[in-house]
């Protein structure tokens, strides 16, 4: 089945990520069957999707998109019984993943892709529980919140077929996402590892007394973060290289200085003292701001940026 032929999606686990995925699928005109064992899960899911829906309307709904196409079932087995694609969003616990994928594999149609949103657990660690068809299990890791952010990281495990990876990539592209293909598994995937590297140095700079929490935030939000929202690290470097592009940078003294900074980056563990220092710094930074309004403004600007990016066809 091609990505464009998928019409029915099962969402397993409807917390923050699962509810956001359900919103994204519904906005693309798909039928969504969801399940979650938590008390009040259905009511919470429907309320969350309704809250997200104005943003989906602003971005543009696909023909046939409707909140009425959301169903809720009591068990994962019921949810996946006739699904064309499954998006799992359960807890980050290996034992739970193994048990859940054993059940999904037993109940879903044999050719249905089983994708996991796992942030840290790799597909190879649990796909062996799928005794019917382990080849169809893939990573489909979104960047939060998936109803807004286009990125999806796709990878296979040791037993995953190349066809399953291609089908997952095709499906995510068909619903307007920007999937990337990881050629091999690695803990944390790509975006979280890049983010973790930045966080490590951010905490180090605060711990070393170089800058305040607010100034570290400002250094990104009012500096390279603006460019990073448009172009990735390599293309930004390329544009910094002048006529020679990225290749010309590596022969310049500035590049030797850059590698010198790599060797000087901090290694820090967030102990109780540093945790308190950073939490207090964030509280000071936000003291005069309403957090609800901050989130609303963040999302409004993010929506505007996403809409602008769709018109900038030369941005990769």
- CATH code (residue 80): 3.40.50.720
* Residues 160 and 205 grouped into a single domain: no
DSSP per-residue letters across 73-115: -SSHHHHHTT-SEEEE---S-HHHHHHHHHHHHHHS-TT-EEE
Pairing mode of beta strands 137-142, 151-156: antiparallel
Do 202 and 263 belong to one domain? yes
Same domain, 275 and 173: no
Q: How far apart are CA 133 and CA 55, in angstroms?
A: 37
State residue 254's pLDDT score: 86
Number of domains in the chain: 2
277 & 253 share domain: yes
pLDDT-flagged residues of the chain (< 50): none
Given this model, what pLDDT does residue 2 score? 64
Mean pLDDT of the chain: 96
* pLDDT reported for residue 290: 96
pLDDT at 182: 98
Write the CB contacts of 51 (distance below 8 Å, at least 6 apart in sequence): none
Q: Mark whether 237 and 286 lie in a shared domain.
A: yes
pLDDT for res 242: 87
pLDDT at 1: 66
Do 174 and 47 share a domain, yes or no?
Answer: yes
**279: which residues sit within 8 A by CB, 6+ positions away?**
none
3-state secondary structure of 258: helix
Pairing of strands 85-88, 8-12: parallel
How far apart are alpha carbons 273 and 93 in whole angstroms?
29
Q: Which residues of 20-42 are buried (b: 16+ CB within 10 A; e: fewer)?
A: bbbbbbbbbebbbbbbbeeeebb
Domain membership flag for residue 162: yes
Q: Which two tokens stand for residue 185?
A: 């598994």
Quote the domain boundaries for residue 276: 191-311
CB atoms within 10 A of CB 250: 14
Q: What is the pTM of this model?
A: 0.94
Cα–Cα distance for residue pair 42/35, rounded to 1 Å: 8
pLDDT for 283:
97
């Amino acid at each position: 089945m091609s990505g464009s032929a998928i019409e029915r999606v099962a969402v397993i686990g409807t917390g923050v990520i699962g509810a956001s995925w359900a919103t994204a699928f519904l906005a693309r005109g798909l039928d969504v069957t969801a399940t979650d064992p938590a008390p009040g899960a259905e009511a919470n899911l429907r309320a969350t999707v309704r809250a997200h829906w104005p943003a989906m309307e602003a971005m543009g709904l696909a023909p046939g998109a409707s909140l009425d196409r959301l169903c809720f079932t009591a068990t994962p087995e019921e949810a996946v019984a006739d699904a064309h694609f499954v998006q799992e969003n359960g807890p980050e616990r290996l034992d739970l993943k193994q048990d859940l994928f054993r059940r999904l594999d037993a109940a879903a149609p044999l050719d249905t892709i089983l994708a996991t949103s796992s942030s840290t657990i790799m597909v190879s660690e649990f796909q062996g529980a799928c005794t019917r068809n382990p080849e169809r299990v893939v990573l489909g890791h979104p960047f939060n919140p998936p109803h807004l952010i286009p990125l999806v990281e796709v990878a296979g495990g040791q037993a995953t077929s190349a066809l399953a990876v291609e089908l997952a990539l095709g499906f995510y592209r068909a619903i307007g996402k920007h999937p990337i293909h990881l050629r091999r598994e690695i803990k944390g995937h790509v975006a979280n590892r890049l983010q973790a590297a930045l966080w490590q140095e951010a905490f180090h700079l605060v711990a070393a007394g170089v800058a305040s929490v607010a100034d570290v935030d400002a250094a990104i939000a009012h500096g390279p973060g603006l460019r990073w929202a448009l172009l990735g690290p390599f293309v930004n470097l390329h544009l910094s290289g002048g006529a020679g592009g990225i290749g010309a940078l590596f022969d310049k003294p500035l590049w030797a200085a850059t590698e010198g900074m790599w060797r000087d980056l901090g290694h820090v563990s967030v102990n109780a003292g540093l945790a308190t220092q950073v939490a207090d710094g964030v509280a000071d930074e936000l003291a005069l701001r309403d957090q609800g309004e901050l989130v609303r403004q963040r999302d409004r600007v993010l929506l505007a940026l996403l809409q602008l990016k769709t018109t900038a066809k030369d941005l990769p």
